[in-house]
């Protein structure tokens, strides 16, 4: 799957391309020893009752980023950020803040609050209920069994991600440089042209998600909503056959003067 870079903001028209994927057969995982606490970590995937893709990215520390579709309130992807924890040995509970892509010519998406609850069998199966509400009512309520996608167990390192990258649709104004100690700097332009400075760090070297945080500065957007905004989330090596080898998918979220927003972009090596 390849998602175009997007920013979700109140009052700003944003667009998104892509948003699909196919589930992979669940790997054969030995039964855990009695009393073993299950990890929720993986890139989990399923199609919901409308045949729309649901992607849940969960780190070994329980941090979550998500991409799914809430058709009741938007006609594009909805991005979420939050966390989950394990209750007992395999119970999963968490919360997300979420907001969708603004429809062309439509009203700005509203903020959603979502709860996640279910059970997990480590690296094999996530049985989950996702319920999202706006300020008035429930707008999304789905139960499904999610399967892990390939690549999560590939491992990660700062040495591997170190290098120069660009977003190919706007290469002159979207570029990242990551050095071997994880320091990140560059430019990001999607509605505003900002410099970015941040850090990439290891979450667990045995798994593919890398932790990312960056701050936007020196922005040229006319209403100043990006200046000083901090985003955080994950970077992971892209497995899409449409992306050059060594590309990384970034899924980040944050708050600006206009509220919750997201960045979803695949950066290619230069």
For the segment 138-193, what is each residue's pLDDT rounded down to a tens digit? Answer: 999 999 999 999 999 999 999 999 999 999 888 889 999 999 999 999 999 877 78
Give CA–CA dist 121/144, Å, rounded.
14
Residue range of the domain that includes 252: 153-269
**Domain annotation covers residue 104:** yes
Same domain, residue pair 191 and 144: no
Same domain, residue pair 80 and 63: yes
**Domain annotation covers residue 180:** yes
CATH of the domain at 250: 2.40.128
The domain tally of the chain equals 2
Same domain, residue pair 160 and 138: no
Q: How confident is the model at residue 107 (pLDDT cuts 50, 70, 90)?
A: low
Specify the DSSP element, H or E, that contains 241: none
Q: How confident is the model at residue 40 (pLDDT cuts 50, 70, 90)?
A: very high
CA-nearest of 13, 18, 11, 10 to 264 is: 18
**Domain annotation covers residue 95:** yes
**Domain annotation covers residue 73:** yes
Q: What is the mean pLDDT of residues 252-259?
A: 84
Residue 159 sits at φ, ψ, to 5 deg, of -65, -35
**Domain annotation covers residue 5:** no
**Cβ-based burial of 253 (10 A; exposed 0-12, middle 13-18, buried ≥19):** buried
**Domain annotation covers residue 20:** no
Half-sphere exposure of 145 (CA within 13 A, CB side): 7
Same domain, residue pair 100 and 161: no
Beta partners for 57? 43, 65
Same domain, residue pair 180 and 124: no
Same domain, residue pair 146 and 157: no
Strands 42-47 and 175-178 come out as unpaired
Q: How confident is the model at residue 226 (pLDDT cuts 50, 70, 90)?
A: confident
């Amino acid at each position: 799957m390849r998602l175009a870079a997007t920013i979700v903001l109140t009052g700003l028209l944003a667009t998104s391309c892509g948003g699909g994927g196919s589930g992979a057969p669940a790997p054969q995982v030995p039964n855990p020893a009695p009393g073993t606490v299950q990890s929720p970590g993986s890139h989990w995937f399923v199609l919901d009752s409308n045949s729309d893709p649901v992607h849940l990215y969960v780190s070994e520390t329980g941090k979550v980023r998500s991409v799914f579709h809430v058709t009741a309130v938007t006609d594009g992807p909805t991005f979420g950020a939050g966390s989950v924890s394990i209750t007992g040995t395999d119970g999963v509970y968490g919360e997300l803040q979420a907001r969708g892509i603004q429809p062309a010519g439509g009203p700005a998406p509203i903020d959603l609050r979502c709860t996640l609850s279910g059970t997990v069998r480590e690296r094999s199966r996530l049985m989950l209920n996702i319920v999202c509400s706006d300020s008035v009512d429930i707008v999304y309520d789905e139960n499904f069994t999610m399967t892990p996608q390939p690549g999560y167990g590939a491992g990660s390192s700062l040495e591997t991600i170190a290098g120069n990258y660009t977003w190919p649709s706007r290469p002159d104004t979207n570029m990242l440089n990551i050095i071997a100690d994880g320091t990140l700097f560059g430019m990001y332009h999607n509605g505003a042209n900002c410099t970015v400075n941040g850090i990439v760090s290891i979450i667990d070297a045995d798994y593919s998600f890398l932790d990312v945080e960056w701050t936007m500065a020196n922005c040229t957007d006319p209403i100043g909503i990006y200046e000083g905004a901090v985003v955080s989330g994950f970077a992971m090596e892209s497995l899409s056959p449409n992306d050059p080898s060594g590309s990384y998918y970034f899924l980040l979220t944050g708050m600006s003067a206009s509220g919750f927003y997201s960045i979803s972009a695949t950066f290619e090596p230069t």
